[in-house]
Structure 1
């Protein structure tokens, strides 16, 4: 049974990370989104939530085809959560490597890096597990969360802020996480995609971290067109690494608009223009009543669409059967038409006494479907032979059964 969290209907658990569980969910308009529910120990950290509240407003400005935009957030209450665009696909860490389409992957990640850095967002935890491989190319998820929640109490509670092997050496040595750290993670992620190996090997986190700081990366097998760029990205000196714009230029990535894509709008208050220095927003969601009405209307429209399709499909099938039986078995043809008409008229009677806003349109559709089925029966019987109609009816029956089973 599905669970509700604010205006969202949680459908299934997609996975979990250091900061929360991710759920596939439906928004008020019936569109799929990803809802990240923060772990209790994170939700109990007031400092972490305050930092995340300040960062979410900036994160919402990041958009583009290669980032999973932040669409909504509720950071108050017992279960704080973030809502992002749902990306259908598998993480880079779970696909066969080396990756065949290395060029599009590199270009897409470079574009995502530029989109984040142009908006003032540092990912802090870019790694293969946070790169979703969709049909439209790579999409970076969870940007900005690790950076915003990097507080002593959260880290002490068990969340690993960053991943050794993809975390920049200056962070491992206690330095600040800037955009240069994301460039290092970009290089390590592409090195894994190009070779199928961790660029700094495997083993205990402490051993991997030591190699990141003191040893060069393993880039054997990286194509010649990419290896020089990755060496610069994986430099231990942050100042020697290229910027996201320079990476895009070297990879030939054309500039694109990084405005957030269309999706569920958090609220009218969040949609209004704000001063650039206004970072006080803590929550973006309409009133509960408005969302409930939207959900009910969306479901009512969906039910009406399904009902009309059923009326049309069943009317066509009944008219075929009745036309095929009209000459050899006229009583059967009459029974089929009468049964269909009785069922549809009963549905029209229910609509007559309902309080729905579209009951008149529903009654008209019901009566029109009965008239259409009767008219089509006589029309088909006048044009086609009994054998042809029986063949059509049998084919329609088989196709209908196959469709129902596949659905």
Structure 2
């Protein structure tokens, strides 16, 4: 398959690696318009399976039509290159399993909000003709208290025999329905089972079918009742129906949503409205898809004026990275912070400027101090610094196409030579040697302190 070239993959600039799963590696990226997206690059054993890619390609067009405030929409796809990938809306938040691990089980209105949000997500997915196939706590992101489902539909590739043989994960034990474990095809009823298992975990903090080996958990799923102790009564009845061994006995996502209580005093954001954007293409080399409207983002909340301060982050109860809360930027919202790549570029430029000027001053001072007693050392210092800035200028001019960098490097070299002659003509050798020794001592102290 090959890896993405440099820090780009197609039109997307990769910023950082977010994680990896059974099907691919996820990167935080910027689209051509500077918006944050999540890019999932498929693993080599998946990309090498033409049958798997063909099946995924058939589902991508349906996946792109799935929209909702509780869905990380599929925005783009490229399945015909050396590095096949999918692009989805990036959700800033924490996975449900991480939230439960740090803060404990979900209770009260937060549990109601979670249940309603997941049921709405499944309604949107199933009404578009897509099956999630791998719903579990780690595929549910909590953003500002609302659940958002990620990675829906991509698990279609596991039905390819060669991908399965290559080691792709078929699913998570305890969240796969009994009929799936027995070899039947995954249908919407399997998502309902996974929905209930996910909510049971959220409400109790325990796996509904316990822990242990894959075989042991699978046996309990098929032959034992789930552990629902501690689940509120209003939810327990719904979960028992959803976890029924017979798929035909399970309710649909719409029926589940109708049985859940409402969220008190929280109307939630308005429903999403489709709008066209730059993601109207799908570079998929299978049968030409019928023209379809471009995917849409979930409708953003009203834009905040520049005078309004950002809301303060909510502190978590844990002491590690999972306890941190984040805010999601959505298209249409002003973001007072520069993009991550811009901030990093500015920081690199400042560090490089300080380094080039600082080393030039030290080299000129050392060369001036050694001019009388050790002329060879003086020449060596100037030559070493001059060679370094010349190489840096060449890299900036020819490799980076950065004329400003090249001019700065060349100017620093000329300035170091001029400073050498100026210091030599004004100060005595003893004074220059004392100054040079002082600078070296200060630098050593700074390095040790750092």
Using structure 1 for the length normalisation, give the TM-score: 0.65
Q: Could you tell me how far 1:259 is from its partner in structure 2?
A: 5.6
Give the equivalent residue in structure 2 for 1:76.
80
Which SS does the other structure have where 1:248 is aligned?
A: helix
Within-5 A mapping of 1:212-251: 212-251=221-260
Match of 1:317 in 2: none
Cα-Cα RMSD: 2.7
CA distance in 2, matches of 1:57, 1:148: 15
Q: In structure 1, what is the Cα distance between the partners aligned to 2:193 and 2:135?
A: 9
Q: Determine the C-alpha separation between the residues in 2 that align with 1:189 and 1:171.
A: 17
Give yes or no for contact 2:158–2:169 (8 Å, CA) kept in 1: no
Matched, 1:133 2:142: yes
Work out whether 1:28 is the aligned partner of 2:35. no
Q: How does 1:76-155 map to 2 (within 5 A)?
A: 76-95=80-99, 96-100=103-107, 101-135=110-144, 137-155=146-164
Deviation digits for residues 130-174 of structure 1, max 9, x if unmatched?
Answer: 000111500000000112442111111111121110010000001
Q: How does 1:12-27 map to 2 (within 5 A)?
A: 12-27=16-31
Question: Which residue among 174, 191, 202 is the counterpart of 1:182?
Answer: 191
**Counterpart check, 1:266 vs 2:289:** no
Match of 2:67 in 1: 63
1:201 has 2:230 as partner: no
Aligned residue pairs: how many?
A: 280
- When the two structures are superposed, what TM-score results if normalisation uses the length of structure 2? 0.59
The answer on whether the counterparts of 2:41 and 2:86 sit within 8 Å (CA) in structure 1 is yes
Q: Which structure is higher in helix share?
A: 1
Correspondence for 1:165 = 174
Match of 2:55 in 1: 51
List runs of 5+ in structure 1 lacking aligned partners: 272-276, 286-301, 307-407
Helix, strand or coil: the match of 2:199?
helix
Check conservation: 1:35, 1:82, Cα contact below 8 A. yes
Q: Is the 8 A contact 1:52 1:149 kept in 2?
A: no
Distance 1:128 1:260 in 2: 27
* Contact persistence 1:19–1:42 (CA under 8 A): yes
Instruction: Please tell me whether the aligned partners of residues 124 and 147 of structure 1 are also in contact (alpha carbons under 8 angstroms).
Output: yes
Is the CA contact (8 Å cut-off) linking 1:167 and 1:185 kept in structure 2?
yes
CA distance in 1, matches of 2:162, 2:114: 36
Contact 1:58 1:120 in 2 (8 A): yes
Structure 1: distance between partners of 2:164 and 2:270? 36
In 2: Cα distance, 1:182 partner to 1:197 partner:
19
SS in structure 1 of the partner of residue 221 of structure 2: helix
Q: Give the superposition deviation at 1:83.
A: 0.1
Pick from 7, 13, 33: which aligns with 1:9? 13
Q: Classify 1:58/1:9 alpha carbon distance in 2 versus 1 (closer, same or farther; 3 Å).
A: same
Distance in 2 separating the partners of 1:180 and 1:256? 28
Change (3 A) 1:242 1:257: farther
- Deviations along 1:89-113, whole A, 9 cap, x unmatched? 1100111330131110001001001
Shift of 1:279: 3.9
1:281-335, CA deviations, whole angstroms, 9 ceiling, x for partnerless residues? Answer: 9xx99xxxxxxxxxxxxxxxx89xx9xxxxxxxxxxxxxxxxxxxxxxxxxxxxx
* Distance (Å, rounded) in 2 between the aligned partners of 1:187 and 1:196: 13
Distance in 1, Cα, partners of 2:277 & 2:218: 40
What are the Cα deviations for residues 215-260 of structure 1, in whole angstroms up to 9, with x where unaligned? 0000000001100000000000001100011011111569999767
Matched-pair contact (CA < 8 Å) for 2:45–2:163: yes
Retained in 1: the 8 A contact 2:55–2:156? no
